[in-house]
Structure 1
Amino acid sequence: MPKRETSLGIPGDGRCLFRSVVHGASLRAGKPSPNETSERELADELRAKVTDEFIKRRADTEWFVEGDFDTYVTQMRLPHIWGGEPELLMSSHVLQVPITVHMLDKKTNCLKTIAEYGQEYGNENPIRVLYHGYGHYDALQNQFGNLHSKMKSRW
């Protein structure tokens, strides 16, 4: 039987990338989905750790952020600033898990993988997020797959 995918309707409040990742991390750890308040708090906590990771890895990351690095990191600490590819990469390092980004192929109505981060942490049971193509990320839940694995982080 093919695996069915469900997007979970993450709010578009500037935290959607971080909410999607923490939601996926909870599912991956076999925990129940966080409630709205907990998800927002965990997303803000992850955002803070991600920006700290940028600073820790400055020599390796400064070249791929847009504009001035210090300004970028300062802005990224704000809860309404959208995250993107750099934040997904840093999230994989913070959580020490693989993250796979999918997008809906409108021609085939199927999901396609558009990016993978954190492959050095393995490739089994990645956190899976859906990118809608206009700045919004959503969590993906596999309805039939195994979502349990060991985590090295709080999630």
Structure 2
Amino acid sequence: MDDLHSEHQRILRRHQREKKELQAQIQSLKNSVPKTDKKKRKQLLQDVARMEAEMAQRHRQELEKFEDERSFESVIEDLAKMDLENQPPRSHKAQRKRERMEALERGHQGSNFQAEMEHLAGFRREEEEKVAAILGVRGLEMKQIPADGHCMYRAIQDQLVFSTSVEMLRSRAASYMQQHVDEFLPFFGNSETETGDSFGYDDFMSYCDNIVHTTVWGGQLELRALSHVLKTPIEVIQADSPTLVIGEEYTKKPIILVYLHYACTLGEHYNSVRPVQAEAAGGAAAPPRLQ
């Protein structure tokens, strides 16, 4: 189990490094294309969305694979315990030795697990401090959103002036993606399954169905779809990467989300933001409405 905890941390750290490198690459690409060149700018936005979608899909698959392997390890341990229970009794001396070894191992695993949790808590505090500094410059603070698989949608819902449900946001995102398959499928379909086969149209449509009917996490594809639905930019603030802006073609006041790597057990989580002095905030531009 100690090895699995360490591997989990290595995966999260690698994901964070890869995302940071990708954002630096994206920023470099943006700087190289003049804002006045609308044709190249549009192509750039499509390329950026594809790269982000590919990475998000790959990272999600790696975490899901890790969780499957961890579950398998637990089953193996349970079977091993059953085998020990079914073995004939050993001598008193051998039994006491085995029990001492098991107690030492449990203590070792417990201390390592505690160390990993403290290590993760350190990452979490550092990340939150960096985000708080970024938000503070803009007169904002982070607003906690429940980590229930709907966090991205709840964070967006929190910043809308009209009443809508998470289910409605999921439905509108999935519907937009299904109605604009040509826009989203290339980004989704460049990933590969574990068998080496490319994802296709049926896989994409199934994914859209899951957006509506399950608590599957929201990511770059869904953010882009909701940006189009709301006709507003969506900014995603991260601790160690430039702010990601989705829907730059729109001019309304943006929805601002915070993306955290270490907020939850699996690492990834979205929070909302609010003015530091919410009572004093007035005269703000009206947030977007569903079209």
Q: State the TM-score, normalized to the length of structure 1.
A: 0.75
Q: CA contact under 8 A between 2:152 and 2:218: conserved in structure 1?
A: yes
- How far does residue 147 in structure 1 lie from its aligned partner after superposition? 7.3
- How far does residue 131 in structure 1 lie from its aligned partner after superposition? 0.3
Q: 246, 249, 261: which is aligned to 1:120?
A: 249
Cα-to-partner distance string for 1:68-97 (whole Å, 9 max, x where unaligned): 211211111124111011111111111111
Secondary structure in 2 matching 1:150: coil
Secondary structure in 1 matching 2:168: helix
Q: CA contact under 8 A between 1:101 and 1:131: conserved in structure 2?
A: yes
Greater RCO (CA < 8 Å, at least 6 residues apart): 1
- How far does residue 22 in structure 1 lie from its aligned partner after superposition? 1.4
**Quick check: 1:20 aligned with 2:20?**
no
Give the match for residue 34 of structure 1. none
**Quick check: 1:143 aligned with 2:266?**
no
Deviates more, 1:86-95 or 1:135-144: 135-144
- How far does residue 46 in structure 1 lie from its aligned partner after superposition? 0.7
User: For 2:228 and 2:242, how far apart are their aligned partners in 1?
Assistant: 20
User: For 2:220 and 2:272, how far apart are their aligned partners in 1?
Assistant: 15
Deviates more, 1:66-75 or 1:50-59: 66-75
Over 3 Å counting, the alpha-carbon distance change for 1:2 and 1:64 in structure 2 is closer
Give the match for residue 130 of structure 2. none
Cα-to-partner distance string for 1:43-78 (whole Å, 9 max, x where unaligned): 211110000000111111111126321121111112
Secondary structure in 1 matching 2:216: coil
Select the structure of larger CA radius of gyration: 2
Tell me which protein shows more helix as a share of its residues. Answer: 2
Q: CA contact under 8 A between 1:100 and 1:113: conserved in structure 2?
A: no
User: For 2:137 and 2:219, how far apart are their aligned partners in 1?
Assistant: 30
Q: Give the % identical residues.
A: 25
Over 3 Å counting, the alpha-carbon distance change for 1:125 and 1:151 in structure 2 is closer
Q: CA contact under 8 A between 1:18 and 1:83: conserved in structure 2?
A: yes
Supply the AA of the counterpart residue of 1:7. M
CA RMSD of aligned residues (A): 2.6
Over 3 Å counting, the alpha-carbon distance change for 1:152 and 1:131 in structure 2 is closer
Supply the AA of the counterpart residue of 1:117. I
User: For 1:146 and 1:125, how far apart are their aligned partners in 2?
Assistant: 14
| Structure 2 gap segments, 5+ residues each | 1-135, 192-198, 262-266
Over 3 Å counting, the alpha-carbon distance change for 1:118 and 1:147 in structure 2 is farther
- How far does residue 140 in structure 1 lie from its aligned partner after superposition? 1.5
Q: 238, 245, 258: which is aligned to 1:130?
A: 258
User: For 1:147 and 1:141, how far apart are their aligned partners in 2?
Assistant: 15
Q: State the TM-score, normalized to the length of structure 2.
A: 0.42
Deviates more, 1:82-91 or 1:63-72: 63-72
Tell me which protein shows more strand as a share of its residues. Answer: 1
Secondary structure in 2 matching 1:128: strand
Deviates more, 1:10-19 or 1:139-148: 139-148
**Quick check: 1:59 aligned with 2:162?**
no
Supply the AA of the counterpart residue of 2:140. E
Q: CA contact under 8 A between 2:160 and 2:289: conserved in structure 1?
A: no
Secondary structure in 1 matching 2:286: coil
Supply the AA of the counterpart residue of 1:18. Y
